[in-house]
Amino acid sequence: MLFVVPTSLQSQDWMALSSRVWAQFPQDPCPAAELLPHATGSNLGDVCVVGTINPELYKFPGDKSETIFPKGCLGWLWFSVEYQQEAERLLVGLIKAQRLQAPSETCSPLVKLHLLPDERCFLQSKTRHRTCSPQFDEHFVFQVSSKSVTQRVVRFLVYHVDRQRKHQLLGQVLFPLKEILERDGQCIIWRDLEAESLEPPSEFGDLQFCLSYNDCLNCLTVVVLQAKGLRLQEDASFVSMFVRVSLINHNKFVKCKKTSAVLGSADPVYNETFSFRADPTELDTASLRLTVLQSMEGDKSHELGRLVVGPYMYTRGKELEHWNEMLSKPKGLVRHWHALCHTTEP
């Protein structure tokens, strides 16, 4: 039997399996370097919009996320990130979104990109009309110094534009740039959209974090995500906030860990994970204290607020509910916002 290669496929690479049988040679799933997006546009201060990207480069065969949609999910966002060390440029490719939960039958989405902590400046994609699964294929470039790149966070805000051209927020994605330094070259990422908290900050600010307990490893995990509405000391020469996480048992400190310091924002983003060893028998007497502090001159620090999560012995309300929910979902991450309290105690 004779197999004939169609004219449209003759330019592709084929290899002989026998004298009369040919098969297509598998292509490299990673795009070549020259095909990756690079900045060639005009300067718009710290940010500018450049070029387009080829959507064919970002198709993943057998991607089950196209068909499996978990309950309560607001949708997904695909994007690419690359930091050019020598040029101090951050390239962000906005690829596509899937299954956006629009407030009406039709959806006209667009995406705004912020480089936190600067919330005043942003870049914006084009609006895609009448689709809940838009293909954007746009990319942007931010100018970011190598000294501050690990402290910056890219925020994607996905909006629906209605007939009156009003923007209705569908969800957001936060991506700390310190994650890209752990990867080589450009990385393509997808994330669940998260609902932005619409509640006003508490008097001393709020802290969002996850709790998880693995009873097989006797491991208590805390993921410090972000804070908002912190009341900073205005007389400080610089603004730098960090979070101290303390494991306490019978009112005695067992171990303390702290996040890296984030500069220049009352709404810092951390996304840092800490693990503590805790036996199941200790969970009725142990608690976690999370304290947000502002660095001052020298080695001094000023406490901006704190909170305690733990069993009934120490907590009530949302803090107790968070702890109990963690125990009811072994090995699962449970995320909540908590109001910070002010105290003069040491």
Residue range 155-200, pLDDT digits in tens: 999 999 888 888 888 999 988 887 777 666 678 888 989 887 655 6
Count helices and strands in the chain by DSSP H and E runs: 1, 20
CA distances from 102 to 74, 194, 227, 331 (A): 9, 14, 28, 32
Q: What's the pLDDT score for residue 245?
A: 97
Q: Is the pLDDT of residue 113 over 70?
A: yes
Q: What's the pLDDT score for residue 236?
A: 57
Determine the average pLDDT of the residues in 296-301: 77
- Whether residue 326 contacts residue 213, with contact meaning beta carbons closer than 8 Å, is answered with yes
Phi, psi for 139 (deg, rounded to 5): -145, 155
Q: What's the pLDDT score for residue 263?
A: 83
Q: What's the pLDDT score for residue 201?
A: 64
Nearest to 226, CA basis, from 249, 203, 194: 194
Nearest to 112, CA basis, from 173, 55, 166, 54: 173
Which pLDDT band holds residue 101 (cuts at 50, 70, 90)? Answer: confident
Residue 335 one-letter amino acid: R
Q: What's the pLDDT score for residue 140?
A: 95
Q: Which residue has the higher pLDDT, 8 or 137?
A: 137
Which pLDDT band holds residue 202 (cuts at 50, 70, 90)? Answer: confident
Q: Which residues contact 283 (CB under 8 A, 6 or more apart)?
A: 213, 311, 327
Cα–Cα distance measured from residue 189 to residue 199, given in angstroms and rounded to the nearest whole number: 29
Q: Which residue has the higher pLDDT, 41 or 258?
A: 258
Q: Is the pLDDT of residue 96 over 50?
A: yes
Percent of the chain's residues with pLDDT above 70: 73
C-alpha triplet 176, 178, 179: angle, nearest 5°: 80
- Whether residue 69 contacts residue 99, with contact meaning beta carbons closer than 8 Å, is answered with yes
Q: What's the pLDDT score for residue 16?
A: 46
Q: What's the pLDDT score for residue 210?
A: 94
Nearest to 224, CA basis, from 98, 337, 96, 126: 337
Residue 48's Cα: distance from chain center in Å?
A: 22
Cα–Cα distance measured from residue 80 to residue 36, given in angstroms and rounded to the nearest whole number: 10
Q: What's the pLDDT score for residue 22?
A: 44
Provide the edge-to-edge strand list for the sheet that holds 334-339.
269-277, 219-228, 206-214, 334-339
Question: pTM for the full model?
Answer: 0.52
Q: What's the pLDDT score for residue 272?
A: 93
Cα–Cα distance measured from residue 92 to residue 51, given in angstroms and rounded to the nearest whole number: 12
Determine the average pLDDT of the residues in 82-86: 89
Which pLDDT band holds residue 227 (cuts at 50, 70, 90)? Answer: very high
Residue range 129-144, pLDDT digits in tens: 999 999 999 989 999 8
Say which range, 18-27, 172-181, 221-230, 242-251, has the weakest mean pLDDT: 18-27
Cα–Cα distance measured from residue 65 to residue 168, given in angstroms and rounded to the nearest whole number: 25
Burial class (CB in 10 A: 0-12, 13-18, 19+), 200: exposed
Which pairs count as long-range contacts for 230-233, CB under 8 Å and 24+ apart, including other chains? 230/204, 230/205, 230/266, 230/267, 230/268, 230/292, 230/294, 230/304, 230/305, 230/340, 231/203, 231/204, 231/205, 231/266, 231/304, 231/305, 232/266, 232/294, 232/304, 233/294, 233/296, 233/302
- Whether residue 242 contacts residue 291, with contact meaning beta carbons closer than 8 Å, is answered with no
Nearest to 123, CA basis, from 108, 109, 140, 135: 140
Residue range 42-75, pLDDT digits in tens: 334 455 555 555 555 555 444 444 455 666 688 9
Strand locations in 28-88, DSSP E? 47-52, 76-84
Looking at every residue in the chain, the average pLDDT score rounds to: 79
Cα–Cα distance measured from residue 259 to residue 257, given in angstroms and rounded to the nearest whole number: 7
